[in-house]
């Protein structure tokens, strides 16, 4: 592999972790976030500052996750009383506030950002493999969460908060858990990104980044682990392999989002499942109902 291809592997791995973090919040728990880049940025700035004071790369990731996770927990508390469109607007506002805040902080480099981030010393391939390992661990965590009592509770909250609350599921608790887990993982992705670029500016964590990662989740299939992974790989490589696309990236992402919502609301995962049903000639497996998900969550909770 050439240095360019290895570098692309690192970028794909970072975006896989970033998209998986949003899928935990939006896909699993049904909490739409339009400001996820703020938590990505919080991890990036925390990681960059820690690396500049001499901390090794693997030690900088944990504090970055803690900073972003704490930020997510605070936002989660502030968002407990809002749902759906109001939650989306609230998180979008958080994204704008974050960018405005770092632009005014001279100790964060203000408009100039943070430069001179030390090299990791792992080599291009070593760093790419480390990021890939982190992404695979996040995917493994998502798969484990999906099949655990926590995943059943998330599904119940996503399907109907009022019904979930009625049968004894602590909706606020699981919302906060989803926000904290997802934003902590986004913080690790941000720390990786800071080390990848070795230079960060506020605009790298703006609204367009939040929309881009949301597009990966929606096009892949909201809540689908492997579908989001496939969409992330495609949407990351397209602008890099076809340079003319880069100037129209947001236009293409927007068109793909509209096409997905119009023709395949389940994204790549939903389309694949539908094609498999057509090929097998059967109705396919039905999605679990709210009562099933909530009942399993309650069973796990009481055990």
Gap between the Cα atoms of 248 and 204, Å rounded? 17
Tokens of 147: 């099949």
Quote the tokens at residue 209.
């980044």
Q: Compute the CA torsion angle 31, 156, 272, 270 (nearest 10 deg).
A: -50
Structure tokens at 208: 């367009």
pLDDT digits (tens, 9 = 90+) for 52-79: 888 888 788 999 999 999 999 999 888 8
SS3 for 31-84 is CCCCCCHHHHHHHHHHHHHHHHCCCCHHHHHHHHHHHHHHHHHHHHHHCCCCCH
**101-143 tens-digit pLDDT:** 999 988 888 888 898 888 877 888 999 999 999 999 999 999 9
What residues make up the domain containing 294?
A: 3-302
Question: Rounded distance, CA 35 to CA 27, Å?
Answer: 15
d(CA 295, CA 186): 31
**Which of helix, strand or coil describes residue 216?**
helix
Query: Which residue in the block uniquely carries the two structure tokens 């390992």?
Result: 133
pTM (whole model) above 0.95: no
What pLDDT does residue 297 have? Answer: 45
Q: Which CATH number is 257's domain given?
A: 1.10.3470
198-228 per-position pLDDT tens digit:
899 999 999 989 999 999 999 998 889 999 9
Instruction: Tell me the C-alpha distance between 268 and 218, whole Å.
Output: 9
Per-residue model confidence as pLDDT tens digits over 97-112: 999 999 998 888 888 8
Residue written as token pair 């469109």: 85
Distance CA 180, CA 159 (A): 20
d(CA 100, CA 87) in angstroms, rounded, equals 20
231 close to 220: Cβ distance less than 8 angstroms? yes
36-40, 157-161, 261-265, 276-280: the lowest-pLDDT one: 276-280
CB neighbours (10 Å) of residue 203?
A: 13
Distance between CA atoms of 74 and 218, rounded to whole angstroms? 25
Integer Cα distance of 245 and 251 in angstroms: 9
Q: Is 169 helix (H, G, I), strand (E, B) or coil?
A: coil
Q: Which two tokens stand for residue 201?
A: 């500016």
For the ranges 10-24, 79-93, 97-111, 184-198, the lowest mean pLDDT is seen at: 79-93
Tally of structural domains, the chain: 1
């Amino acid at each position: 592999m050439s240095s360019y291809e290895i570098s692309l592997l690192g970028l794909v791995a970072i975006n896989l972790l970033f998209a998986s973090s949003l899928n935990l919040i939006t896909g699993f728990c049904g909490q739409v976030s339009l400001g996820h880049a703020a938590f990505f940025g919080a991890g990036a700035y925390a990681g960059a500052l820690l690396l500049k004071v001499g901390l090794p790369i693997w030690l900088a990731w944990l504090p970055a996750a803690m900073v972003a996770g704490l930020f997510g927990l605070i936002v989660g508390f502030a968002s407990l009383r809002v749902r759906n469109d109001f939650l989306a607007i609230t998180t979008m506002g958080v994204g704008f506030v974050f960018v405005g805040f770092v632009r005014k902080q001279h100790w964060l480099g203000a408009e100039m950002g943070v430069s001179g981030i030390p090299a990791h010393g792992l080599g291009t391939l070593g760093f790419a493999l480390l990021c890939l390992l982190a992404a695979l661990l996040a995917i493994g965590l998502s798969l484990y969460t999906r099949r655990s009592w926590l995943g059943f509770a998330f599904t119940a909250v996503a399907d109907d908060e009022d019904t979930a609350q009625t049968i004894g599921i602590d909706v606020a608790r699981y919302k906060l858990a989803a926000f904290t887990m997802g934003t902590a993982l986004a913080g690790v992705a941000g720390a990786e990104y800071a080390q990848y670029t070795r230079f960060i500016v506020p605009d790298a964590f703006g609204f367009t980044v939040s929309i881009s990662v949301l597009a990966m989740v929606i096009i892949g299939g909201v809540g689908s682990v492997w579908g989001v992974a496939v969409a992330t790989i495609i949407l990351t490589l397209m602008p890099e392999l076809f340079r003319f696309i880069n100037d129209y990236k947001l236009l293409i992402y927007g068109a793909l989002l509209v096409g997905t919502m119009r023709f395949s609301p389940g994204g790549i995962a939903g389309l694949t499942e539908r094609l498999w049903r057509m090929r097998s000639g059967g109705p396919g497996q039905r999605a679990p109902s709210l009562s099933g998900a909530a009942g399993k969550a309650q069973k796990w909770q009481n055990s």
